[in-house]
A = this chain, B = another copy of it.
Amino acid sequence: MNKVILLGRLTRDPEMKNTTTGKAVTRFSLAVDRRFKNKDGQKEADFINIVVWGKQAEFAAQYLTKGSQISLSGRLEARSYEAQDGQRRYITEVVADEINFVSSGQKSSNAGAGFQQTSAPQSANNNNMSVMGLDEDFHLMADDDDIPF
């Protein structure tokens, strides 16, 4: 069991790349407000690195922008890489497999983007709308290596 559930806002526009095998990867940082203020009465946030793969990566790149408020679920992944100084560096990020749109980060409505977010939350029938269509990158399931038993 390895589950992460977050609610927050993109700190910048997502960045999509393609792996050498042609698979899309989108990355962004999510600002997640802490429940409690710190000693100085300041509201703080945690900035969590998010990774999205495959078809969802394309949706994320297309529909999310800096300031978008989303909820997501995924799993924690720890990996290491060689830094420029030759040292091994360890980072942990969240691989999202489900992203839900909560509200736009844009003041002006995102015309043509697939969402019509209005300013009145209670009239918006697209709050909590799901941005993503799939619960993971399924075609991976085709080869045996992915069968977990």
Partner-B contacts on A (CB < 8 A): 1-8, 32-41, 43, 46-49, 59, 63, 67, 69, 71, 73, 75-78, 85, 90-94, 97-98, 100-107, 114-115, 117, 119-123, 125, 127-136, 138, 140-141, 145-149
Once the chains bind, are A8 and B135 in contact (CB under 8 Å)?
A: no
Report Cα–Cα, A32/B127, bound state, in Å: 11
Report Cα–Cα, A36/B75, bound state, in Å: 13
Once the chains bind, are B103 and A148 in contact (CB under 8 Å)?
A: no
Once the chains bind, are B146 and A1 in contact (CB under 8 Å)?
A: no
Once the chains bind, are A133 and B119 in contact (CB under 8 Å)?
A: no
Once the chains bind, are A114 and B76 in contact (CB under 8 Å)?
A: no
Report Cα–Cα, A37/B125, bound state, in Å: 13
